[in-house]
Amino acid sequence: MPFDRAGIFARFPWLQQSELSMVIGDDLDALLSALVLHHAMGWKVVGLYQEYTTILYQGDASTFRDAVWVDLDISQPTIRSIGHHILYDRPGQDESSHSLNLNLNRLRGVTGAMGRCTTKGEACGCGSNTFRHKYPLGTAHFLLWLYDVKTPDIEWLDALWWHADSTWINGQSHKYAPNVKDWVQNYVAPTTLARRLNQIDSRGWEQSVAERVIPFLQQFGFQHGRSQTRSRHLSISNWQCQFQSLAAISPDINGFWSAVGRECQLTPPRVLPGPWTRIKGLRRSGLLDATVAADGGLPEFIRNKGVFSYVIPNGGRINWTSGIVAP
């Protein structure tokens, strides 16, 4: 069933509140998501969750507690977040720790719990509960669609937005392509993606990335970052643009937001230089079944181990952060 904006707003009414604070992730998708939310709702950036281990935030404790965590999945019943990781190890499992988490896989019912799926599109026997149907786009793309934000019809700018979370490479002709097409055509279809869906698997598109997008990112001091896939035609490894700080030194986050806002006719956010409060957590990884079994299951594991956030990157593992307590 296609996503329904009115239904999403009704379920998560805070999405329509203006001037909320937000804590963001540490990559390009998070930066573009913050741009959309500031333009559409006036939300302001007050914090960073870096590599799922360290929190940096501005303001008093209430600012931290009341912020919406963007491009992140937080496993706390009192913290609002917007993300798209796989969070459940069984179909239909729904623990209270995610009651305020707008998770895109959860909205569609994708758990990743039923192993492999080799069919194309949504009409398959697995009920979409496999990693093959995992949300393959960026949080920024969902937000463009949710708030009906339009960007100029310019190829290199669209390529910049497609760059978030390697979406354009995922959408090329390999095993992830049918899933990207399914989500864009049937669930999350911002104009920025929909009008280029049939162009991304071409040499001309990749030339736009190489000649315009990557130099644009480099001028603000972004580094390449980790990337697991390469494009089909020019073997481009996608720039995730992960960064260590929100301070306007290197990369120039404020300069990036201002430039993209100017090119796309969007009002950019701005982050202040500080001071910053730092909270350090502990990141761990383990076999999923063995890790949660001792506590009696995933919900009990989250509660008993003080898990602040976690992801299930594949059917066999879980990565989690503990040791973080909101002040």
What are the pLDDT digits (tens) for 258-283? Answer: 999 999 999 999 988 778 888 999 99
Q: Which residue has the higher pLDDT, 242 or 135?
A: 135
Closest Cα to residue 220, out of 189, 252, 188, 193? 252
Question: Can you give the pLDDT at residue 146?
Answer: 98
Question: Can you give the pLDDT at residue 160?
Answer: 97
Q: Which residue has the higher pLDDT, 271 or 22?
A: 22
Q: What's at 185, amino acid-wise?
A: Q
pLDDT tens profile 108-137:
888 766 555 555 544 555 555 677 788 999
Closest Cα to residue 245, out of 218, 275, 212? 275
pLDDT at 95 over 60: yes
Question: Can you give the pLDDT at residue 94?
Answer: 59
pLDDT tens profile 35-77:
999 999 999 999 999 989 999 888 887 777 789 999 999 998 8
SS3 284: strand
Closest Cα to residue 52, out of 83, 77, 78, 21? 83
State how far the Cα of 158 lies from the Cα of 292, in Å rounded to an integer: 42
3-state secondary structure 89-121: CCCCCCCHHHCCEEEHHHHHCCCCCCCCCCCCC
Which of 7-16, 69-78, 103-112 is predicted least confidently? 103-112
- Which CA distances in Å does 291 have to 60, 165, 299? 35, 28, 12
Closest Cα to residue 29, out of 172, 135, 110? 135
pLDDT at 195 over 60: yes
pLDDT at 5 over 70: yes
Question: Can you give the pLDDT at residue 73?
Answer: 95
Find the angle CA(269)-CA(272)-CA(278) to the nearest 5 degrees. Answer: 115
pLDDT at 106 over 90: no
State how far the Cα of 114 lies from the Cα of 132, in Å rounded to an integer: 10
Mean pLDDT of 130-149: 93
Q: pLDDT band for 249, please (50, 70, 90 cuts).
A: low
Predicted TM-score (pTM) of this structure: 0.93
* Residue 178: cis peptide before it, omega within 30 degrees of 0: no
Question: Can you give the pLDDT at residue 174?
Answer: 75
Structure tokens at 275: 């001071």
Closest Cα to residue 158, out of 244, 264, 62? 264
Q: pLDDT band for 2, please (50, 70, 90 cuts).
A: low
